[in-house]
Amino acid sequence: MLAQAELSVLESLGIEAKNQGTSTGSNWLKGSGEYFSSSSPVDGKELGSLEVTSKEAYEEVIRTAQKGFSEWRTWPAPKRGEIVRQFGDLLRKHKDALGTLVSYEMGKSLQEGKGEVQEMIDICDFAVGLSRQLHGLTMHSERPGHRMYEQYHPLGLVGIISAFNFPVAVWCWNTALAWVSGDACIWKPSEKAPLSGIACQKLITQVFEANDVPEGISCLVNGDYKVGEWMSHDRRVPLISATGSIRMGRKVGEAVGARLGKSLLELGGNNAIIIAPSADIDTTLVGAVFGAVGTCGQRCTSTRRLIIHESMYDEVKSKILKAYKQIRIGNPLDENNHMGPLIDTLAVDAYLNALKEVKREGGSVLIEGEVLSGEGYESGCYVKPVVAEVENYYQIVQDETFAPILYLLKYSTLDEAIAMQNGVDQGLSSAIMTTNLREAELFLSSRGSDCGIANVNIGTSGAEIGGAFGGEKDTGGGRESGSDAWKVYMRRQTNTINYSTELPLAQGIKFEL
């Protein structure tokens, strides 16, 4: 049985023992009749179950979303922004409850769970301002008596496939921008954290119903990879935004590309911090340790590799090992703990296999891994964070393991360190710790990091919503959240107006009848 406090959180968000898994907003549709459950990695207890979306229910979702979009796109963008503003205010009221559900369902610390909801609030604030700034562009025509400009229109239906590690924030990064852009959204949450998706749908429906927003602007579909395949192959969904593994992203990208659709892919990371001789060791330790063990190493921006200058390698290694001895592992709802569980036992298996590969390839494990057992660890998902000395070319180092495994590497010159940092297939987040201006600027130059995110004197983990989030290479090239990421949710149109009494052609071409 769940504790009374946990039950009250679920009840306050509308979570029941059995939940319909398909929704067009206020309408919850009958699904396939098959159910799947959500169990917490915190204690192994079942939170609830959801009905799998059927193909018939999916088709009803698409029809409703298309109909809703035809009206929603006619609403002035600032009015759409007002709806998002109200959603942000509602999230503020439910921040503790939703943050607790996120932490309990997927295992991240309570601070991180509430922080994830705060990201939702922040992107709503950003989108409200954006709703009055969906700017186009004017330009001079080469033809007399002509005017040219560009404008942006709503794209249509946006399919969102999200991952378990950020079960609500990434959805909101997409929807807040898509909604003010005039789009309708269809969301497939991770089957490993689906109840958080149910909670979000019930919250946004309150706002939509109070404002007579057309049905179908926020839709929910639940199930396994088959539901994602329906969306990816569906020409009626012009944009698919997918967050997850590189393997998943390749399949989505191939399916969407085959129909000449648009995809926004935010995939794996293999993120490194370069620690230069002039680095401030105290701030470096905080950034490195949190980056490696935060969310139990299950962030796409988690720190996987520390590339340390040879002159301070032993000092940094010693302090990292000392810091790891202080990490408290346990129930993430207890804010005294630094690290909670992995998402499930499959993730534990991947962690154990990675440790075997490290040793097989010749690495030296400085802090041994272990699956924790006993009181408080009954779920079998709690593991010890690992530190290992390796070479960058090891295949296991080249791969992303979604677990708290930190690799230490040594370098001699900054060019060598940058080559090591860039010498992986992924290109999401990167950082350098240095107080040397020249080193910092080189790292940020075209000769430096090839990642979508490059930081100086902060770690790789986490991002503010004001900047576009995403990476290069196998990370997928997509950009979510801030800056001009809104443009992917809209279609650009070039307009030329002739206000003269003649019809001159471009490039001076003559055509007379």
pLDDT digits (tens, 9 = 90+) for 183-200: 999 999 999 999 999 999
Average pLDDT on 335-353 reads 97
d(CA 159, CA 259): 15
Beta bridge partners of 35: 51
Beta bridge partners of 433: 275
d(CA 297, CA 350): 12
512 pLDDT higher than 90: no
pLDDT digits (tens, 9 = 90+) for 256-310: 999 999 999 999 999 999 999 999 999 999 999 999 999 999 999 999 999 999 9
Maximum C-alpha span of the chain: 90
Residue 209 among the catalytic residues: no
DSSP letter for 257, please.
H
pTM of the shown model: 0.96
pLDDT score for 1? 55
Q: What are phi and psi of 32, to 5 degrees?
A: -80, -15
Could you tell me the pLDDT band of residue 6, with boundaries at 50, 70 and 90? Answer: confident
4 pLDDT higher than 80: no
d(CA 433, CA 441): 12
pLDDT digits (tens, 9 = 90+) for 204-231: 999 999 999 999 999 999 999 999 999 9
Tell me if residue 136 falls in helix, strand or coil: coil
Could you tell me the pLDDT band of residue 38, with boundaries at 50, 70 and 90? Answer: very high
Contact 300, 470 (CB under 8 A): no
Phi-psi region of 207 (alpha: psi -120 to 50; beta: other; left: phi over 0): alpha
What is the per-residue DSSP string for 22-55? EESSS-EE---S-EEEEE-TTT--EEEEEEPPPH
Average pLDDT on 30-43 reads 97
Residue 200 among the catalytic residues: no
Q: Which of 185, 300, 381, 451 is catalytic?
A: 300
Contact 335, 346 (CB under 8 A): no
Question: Around 463, how many Cα atoms within 13 Å sit in the side-chain half-sphere?
Answer: 30
Average pLDDT on 444-458 reads 98
Tell me if residue 306 falls in helix, strand or coil: strand
pLDDT digits (tens, 9 = 90+) for 477-492: 999 999 999 999 999 9
Could you tell me the pLDDT band of residue 462, with boundaries at 50, 70 and 90? Answer: confident
Q: Which of 51, 60, 116, 266 is catalytic?
A: 266
d(CA 303, CA 412): 21
Residue with tokens 């393997």: 247
2 pLDDT higher than 80: no
Average pLDDT on 387-414 reads 98
